[in-house]
Amino acid sequence: MARTFRLALAQINPTVGDITGNTAKILDYLERAREAQADLVAFPELAITGYPPEDLLFKKSFLTDNVAAMEKVAAASQGIAVVLGYVHIVSLERQSEEVGPQVTNAAALCYDDRLIDTYHKIFLPNYGVFDEQRYFQRGSECPVYTIGGVAVGVNICEDIWYPVGPTTVQCQAGAELIVNINASPFHAGKRAFREDMIAQRALENGLTVAYVNTVGGQDELVFDGGSMICDSTGGLVARGPAFQESLLITDLSFKEPSARPKHKPANAGAGAGVGTPKNVTVSEAGTETKPSLEAQTILVGMDGPEEIYRALVMGTGDYLRKVGFTKALIGLSGGVDSALTATVAVDALGKENVIGITMPSRYSSEGSISDSKKLAGNLGLDLWELPIEPAHQALTDMLAERFKGTEANVAEENVQARVRGNVLMTVSNKFGWIVLTTGNKSEMAMGYATLYGDMAGGFAVLKDVPKTTVYELCRWRNGQGQAFGTMDGVIPVAILDKPPSAELREGQLDADSLPPYEVLDPVVEAYVENDLGYQEMVAQGFDPQVVRQVIAAVDRNEYKRRQAPPGVKITHRAFGKDRRFPIVNRYRQHEGG
């Protein structure tokens, strides 16, 4: 006779540091799971504190408040098992002046109003955006809990990414179900990779794997949710939605222990050095019959421009809401970057909370002004027109004596960009609205941006979006109008068709300074995201001249990027925490190596 186990995965959007608000949300989802008669409800990694809490983990009050919140949730676990991410305190005493309190990244297992046990994360990621070895001690036990008569192994995020890990040990200790809690950030293509990995772990261990992920924006990171369950054959049983909160409830069926063939994991015996197994009985199988769940449809996975666009919307909206801004301010140039930024902002915040300012100069084309007005009309946002010619002329006159006898160059051009930045920041100061900058990853890589000009602002929506992807996202969004409550073709075709230009001098085009973006972007990706050297890129067929230009520009402009506002991460390696290069850096790539 098969045993039925009702599992609830609570895909929630916590806020880092909002222990009170996060706890209230957890208790709400816990009650919903109990009403659905779930045997177990699992919450994401560090759900109590939000992820990543970073140096808040050095504050004793933060740590003790987080434990008190966990205990409050434990006290509400009557009749239901709860797996909850929190920070476990080993000791509040500092090990040294350099090392703070001793803590672990932990999962509490609660049942019947009390804490039963705690799992401590074993594999601590320390690459890319992760710094867990800076904060946490490594765990050493791999528990299997008998809950409702089913053997459940609990582990955390990175623990399941390795073929030999806690899951291996828990499988050997009799686990039938693995509950893996996560705060796994998004980048394009990660959903499919993640699902393949979970399916592989389920198949090679012959057990069911449930993966619950957090959702929401946190600084530059976006967590996409996409919680899932794979059965022992690697088949997908359930998938939660992307980029929204959800309580995914699924009935799982397990054979009686006597009828279940003993599975030998593909890596049997290999987990000896990972951690020590232990078995804990929490509750026996219930005898009551539960009402059947409605048949579930496995949601279609999100890929391509849709997942990137949704990530930008969630990252932008959550950044403003969680920081406390209610309105956004954008300089509309009539170009594709500001058009996409404004569209994302409207989809994230609502048209009533986005203000556009067009700031024409003597070099602005009539088309750029009219395109900005048409875009604003399509989006329904308020548009201000503030010509910058008076300020531009005043600054030019003020500097004329000192610049006498010199050739006009980028300095004179950038006066306009800095006047525009000044206008935007002054309006921001006056009304308390955040400025969204509009530069893309291609420009940031090459330094094709003006410090204290178009880089001035509080959040950079397209900071990690290559220019070619900007166009792809615009065209995708133009076909989705009704889904977002606006018309199809919201971004005027004229904006997409015109050659990119900063319009800081007569007849200026981006192509005067940069290779065509379809040529540039693959080289930037190879150098920035894949760390390829000159010879490797040339061997792959890239133009040697373009390769030299990209290497020199990327290396030279690190100082600019350090002064840029945060922005949404959508590639597997973004500028900032993902890619950390010294500003003072005399190493130079050359043709010989």
Q: Which residues are catalytic?
A: 45, 121, 157
Q: What single DSSP character describes residue 157?
A: G
> How far is C-alpha 439 from the geometric centre of its chain's CA atoms?
19
Calculate the alpha carbon distances from 300 to 226, 241, 304, 310, 390 in Å. 10, 9, 13, 15, 54
Please tell me the number of Cα atoms within 13 Å of 479 on its side-chain side.
7
Backbone angles phi, psi at 497, to 5 degrees: -90, -20
Give the contacts of 310 (CB within 8 A, at least 6 positions apart): 224, 242, 243, 302
How is the beta sheet containing 328-331 ordered, strand by strand? Answer: 382-385, 354-358, 328-331, 434-437, 459-460
Do 335 and 360 meet the contact criterion of CB atoms below 8 Å apart? no
Give Rg (Cα) of the chain. Answer: 27
d(CA 474, CA 337): 9
Distances, alpha carbon 545 to alpha carbons 15, 442, 519, 535, in Å: 46, 17, 11, 12
Q: How far apart are CA 529 and CA 534, in angstroms?
A: 14
CB atoms within 10 A of CB 269: 10
Rounded Cα–Cα distance for residues 69 and 62 (Å)? 11
Q: Which two tokens stand for residue 144?
A: 């299997």
Helix (H) or strand (E) holding 309: helix 304-323
| Pairing of the two strands 354-358 and 328-331 | parallel
Per the omega criterion (within 30 degrees of 0), is the bond before 277 cis? no
CA angle 515, 517, 522 (to 5 degrees): 100
For residue 325 the two structure tokens come to: 């801004």
* Residues facing residue 236 across a β-bridge: 230
First to last CA, the chain: 66
Which residues are bridge partners to 218 per DSSP?
A: 221
* Residue 227: exposure state from Cβ atoms within 10 A (0-12, 13-18, ≥19): buried
Rounded Cα distance between 161 and 194, Å, is: 9
